[in-house]
Chain A
Amino acid sequence: MTEIRCIQVAINEQPQTAEVPTRMLLSDFLRYTVGLTGTHVGCEHGVCGCCTVLLNGDAVRSCLLFAVQADGAEVTTVESLTREGSLHPLQAAFRQEHALQCGFCTAGFLMTLIPFLRENPRPSASEIREAVSGNLCRCTGYVNIIRAVQSYVALSRNSP
């Protein structure tokens, strides 16, 4: 027996109404119901960080939330970063510094870093490392990821 609930969620500022089974994970809801496949699912028990999205502005694991729990909330996914075809400066820095190899973990890194950099716009290298400690990159491309964040920080420092 599968229970169904009707939920209302703002996803990337777009209000959505949907019927969801109560045991459906938010990660599956985003990918299969809404069709936003930028959020990746790696381990499905909270360890890898690939499914990180923002819930009311805070980075959380979407595989550890049920879609029904997002009723009334705002969810922000990696798809929100690119506006009118141009990459977010952090995405551009990832590209510039070769901070993605296979790309599977990238969305989770970006969605972890966006609120971190809002809170701490001038992080040290060790603060950046700690911030991404909950995201696994199995290509082990961490050095370039840290470098990308540093180059983004340097760029945003030079712009007004």
Chain B
Amino acid sequence: MKPAPFTYYDPHTLDEALGLLAVHGDAAKILAGGQSLVPLLNMRLAAPDVIVDINRLPDLDFVTTDNGLRVGALARQAMVERDAAVRDVAPLVTEAIAWVGHRQIRNRGTLVGSLAHADPAAEMPLVFLALDGELHLRRTSGSRRVSAGDFFVHIMTTALDPEEIATEASLPPVPPGSGSAFLEVARRHGDFAVAAIAVVVTIEAGRIRRARVALGGVGPTPLRATRAEERLVDEEPTNELFVEAALAASHDCEPVTDIHGTAEYRRELVRTMVYRGLGRAVVRARTGAAG
């Protein structure tokens, strides 16, 4: 099918773009990589009056790694995927981004757009939650930063107001002694996750000092498995501990049954993947290997 008519703007400055959003409010939709929005337009599941195409805005296609990771709104997923420095500062991002669709999708789709779209089974929201990421939001009257934990509100619903643009997403530097892992089960390569997990552990003097266990595809937003995290902190990393934490994680979510899998199957996937992920993350933390 073809999109319904809309008024098209392709502003050349951020101020101009923000001005358009201030005027049109929720009658307008921001167009970034278009890999989620254009299918919705083509199927007429969305028919906004106004499209504000941000692809001609200057200076937003950056990826920097000097203090944590900063990704501008026009950095394509493929650009982040190929950047060797990203693998060093945020190996979890590199590991997970290869699971986003296919190369043709990632050549155009933006990382920030994937966060803004907030599909509950998407990889980047899960990773930004696990790594304590932040979004930088701008509007004509100012700017604010929102943590990933506060940004994802519900299925495809975020803290973004209609007059705001997310100009950047950032991650703090990972503490030394950290290791991470990302695991996913999808029906076919490039599909959204049936369930996915991201874990990050920081080991000091033989004990887990900090743990993040994040789950995707098993709730309306990506979730932190807080009981699993609490079980891990201050403990020595042992196989029994991973078994217990993985079981706790599988009870930290309320998955639904749908065409892709039953709730019980998803819970079982979470348990298995968190268990395996913890093992991998701890090895990586100890060896300083990527991830």
Contact = CB atoms under 8 A, between A and B. Distances in A.
B104 A59 contact: yes
Interface string A51-79: 01001001111011110110000000000
Contacts of B42: 25, 44-45, 63-64
A45 B107 contact: no
For this complex, into which size category does the number of interface residues on chain A fall?
A: 20 to 34
B56 to A, nearest CB: 9
For this complex, into which size category does the number of interface residues on chain B fall?
A: 20 to 34
Given A2-B5, A133-B190, A68 B105 contact: no
A102 interface: no
Contact of A3 (B8, B103, B105, B189): B8
Contacts of A46: 35, 38-39, 105
Given A58-B78, A69-B53, A131 B105 contact: no
Given A3-B8, A44-B42, A68-B8, A131 B103 contact: yes
Contacts of A69: 10, 34, 53, 55
A116 interface: yes
A59 B103 contact: yes
Contacts of A1: 5
A58 B107 contact: yes
A64 B8 contact: no
A45 B35 CA distance: 9
B3 interface: yes
B66 to A, nearest CB: 27
A127 B199 CA distance: 27
A88 interface: no
Contact of B102 (A58, A64, A133): A133
Contacts of B43: 45
Interface string A113-138: 00010000000000000110110000
Instruction: Give the residue among B38, B188, B190 with the most A Cβ atoms within 10 A.
Output: B38
A59 B105 CA distance: 9
A2 B6 CA distance: 8
A80 interface: no
B102 A49 contact: yes
B7 interface: yes
A114 to B, nearest CB: 12
B221 to A, nearest CB: 24
Given A25-B3, A58-B78, A58-B108, 16 more contacts: A5-B8, A22-B8, A23-B2, A23-B3, A23-B8, A28-B2, A46-B35, A49-B102, A63-B42, A65-B108, A68-B10, A112-B103, A133-B102, A133-B189, A134-B103, A134-B190
Interface of A: 1-3, 5, 22-23, 25, 28, 44-46, 49, 52, 55, 58-61, 63-66, 68-69, 112, 116, 130-131, 133-134
Across the A-B interface, the 7 shortest Cβ-Cβ residue pairs = A134-B102, A45-B39, A22-B8, A133-B189, A64-B38, A58-B107, A59-B104
13 contacts: A3-B7, A23-B4, A23-B6, A45-B39, A61-B35, A61-B105, A64-B38, A64-B42, A66-B53, A69-B10, A69-B55, A133-B188, A134-B102
